Amino acid sequence: MELDAQAHVEAQVERTFERGKIIDPLTLEGRALETYALYLPKNYLTGYTWPTILFFDPQGNGKKPLELYKDLADQFGFILIGSNFSRNGKSMEEVLAHINALKSDLPGSIKADPFRIFLVGFSGGARVAVAEAMTNGDVAGVVGCGAGFPHLKDDVQLSFNYMAMVGKQDFNYSEFVVLDKQLSARNSNHILFEFEGKHAWPVANQMLEAFKWMTVYSYSQGEVIDMVLMDSLYQSDMSHLIDIENSADLRTIAQLYKKMIALYNGLANVTEQEKRLKMLIGSTAYQNEDTELEAVLAKEMKLRNTYMLHMNQKNYDWWTQDISEIRNKIAVETDLSLKNSRKRLLAYLSIASYLQAEASLKKDLLPQANKFLRILDLVDPKNPDYYYLAAQVLLKQGQNEKAVDLLKKASSYGFDNWEKLDNERVFDPIRSYLRTIRG
């Protein structure tokens, strides 16, 4: 971090904020409806510029990623800011104007280093982060989780560093496989990190890789290097490499080589990693694995299209039998690539049936909504959105008490998008019960 004398003076008269505590909501000056959550690391000092991360959640829950990653902010020394305004459904023009305000209109005591502003988004928020970086050249790097680029034109030059994070059971996984190859063909500065998980914010020990990446990048921008921390990061990656180097997971080994080369080139000797990466990706075994993955993903996409037709054509008994067969195959499958593909298919059916049910509800097509909800319950029985939508069906049928019971179940399974619920008029008859459900 660097001392900013002017910021130190401003901090004496500007509002100060408690360190080590999430503050939510805060309002942007002149933008009363645009709020954000803030976390200052425990070792935060006014008068210095700090690397800063702006988070974008698809549901506009700025506090959520701060709760997940505040310990990492303490460990690595980052200001965390989570937007409550950016969310799926907002126009990109509105969101980009909001992001520019976040970067420039913060209180004087919060001094983000303009050369070390990182954007981190999940799902639709990941596409927002990339869109901002492609629009404005003042972003140091982007971490996109669970979704790739909004659109990648052939003539677009990427001026920012990019880290892609995706769960191996995420229904958007194939998108990242394609994007990784596109960016590699352009020699873009990027890293792909795959982990065990579904379509969700990465857990803290997975997001640790992104914080390491952002920290090492900060060093490359002239920041004073903490050699103890730097050495520990390098040694931890070397230990991980030794642990997996003789495994059969060639794709993960190659990704670790690529990550180490991108991270430590110029800060450590990565000649050996470069040599081994070249040998690995040129090997017959690696190329065969890559070809097999492409075949699995092609079949997966074909099955998606078939199942979308089945959504309207097949009855509940057919779905019950078919989903049972998929689960049985997952249980006995020894090929991890095929096992993950089937898990991604179930995840895709979950989001597809949810969207179909939601669209039917908006048109008051209750029999259709019920059919799609029953499919959703089959493929993803603990999905809180099932109970949220099913409660709406019951309310439209005048079954208020049963609707309240379903909302309680939605809450118990993790439903937290209460602002969306507040904006749905269908819940008006049970508003007095909602406060007890929300807790």
In this predicted model, what pLDDT tens digit does every residue of 212-227 receive, in sequence order? 999 988 776 656 667 7
Given this model, what pLDDT does residue 307 score?
97
Given this model, what pLDDT does residue 220 score?
64
Is 238 inside any structural domain? no
Looking at 14-79, list the stretches that DSSP marks H as alpha helix, in order from N- to C-terminal side. 63-76
Residues 180 and 43 in one domain: yes
Put residue 83 in one of left, alpha, beta given phi > 0 → left and psi -120 to 50 → alpha: beta
Domain edge (last residue) among 183, 206, 224? 224
Residues 22 and 164 in one domain: yes
Is 248 inside any structural domain? no
| Span 133-151, average pLDDT | 90
Torsion of CA 398, 403, 405, 411, to 10 degrees: -160
**Rounded to whole angstroms, what are the CA distances from 273 to 197, 215, 237?**
27, 21, 12
What amino acid occupies position 384?
Answer: P
Domain edge (last residue) among 224, 240, 265? 224
What is the widest separation between alpha-carbon atoms in the chain?
A: 70
Distance CA 236, CA 408 (A): 44
Is 392 inside any structural domain? yes
> Taking all residues of the chain, what is their mean pLDDT, rounded to a whole number?
90
Residues 220 and 305 in one domain: no
Tell me how crowded residue 187 is: count the other CB atoms within 10 A of its CB: 7
Residues 191 and 336 in one domain: no
Residues 215 and 313 in one domain: no
Distance CA 222, CA 198 (A): 37
Tell me: the pLDDT tens digits for 306-325?
999 999 999 999 999 999 99
Is 287 inside any structural domain? no
Is 282 inside any structural domain? no
Structure-block tokens of residue 86: 């950016």
Distance CA 73, CA 43 (A): 10
Share of the chain above pLDDT 90, in %: 70
Domain edge (last residue) among 224, 246, 263? 224
Is 234 inside any structural domain? no
**Rounded to whole angstroms, what are the CA distances from 95 to 57, 85, 185, 296, 412?**
12, 8, 30, 36, 31
Given this model, what pLDDT does residue 223 score?
63
- DSSP H or E run through 190: strand 190-195
* Side-chain half-sphere exposure of 140, counting CA atoms within 13 A: 22
| Least trusted range by pLDDT, from 47-56, 188-197, 226-235 | 226-235
Supply the CATH number for residue 389's domain.
Answer: 1.25.40.10
Which is more confident, 293 or 108? 293
Residues 60 and 185 in one domain: yes
Range of the domain at 357: 298-438
Residues 305 and 410 in one domain: yes
Tell me how crowded residue 371 is: count the other CB atoms within 10 A of its CB: 21
Residues 217 and 337 in one domain: no
Tell me: the pLDDT tens digits for 392-419?
999 999 999 999 999 999 999 999 888 8
Residues 201 and 348 in one domain: no
**Rounded to whole angstroms, what are the CA distances from 5 to 47, 52, 104, 190?**
6, 19, 18, 35
Distance CA 343, CA 170 (A): 8
Beta carbons of 425 and 396 less than 8 angstroms apart: no
Residue 13 pLDDT level (bands cut at 50, 70, 90): very low
Is 264 inside any structural domain? no
Torsion of CA 249, 250, 254, 256, to 10 degrees: 20
Residues 203 and 332 in one domain: no
Total domain count for the chain?
2
Residues 194 and 96 in one domain: yes
Is 265 inside any structural domain? no
Distance CA 222, CA 113 (A): 12
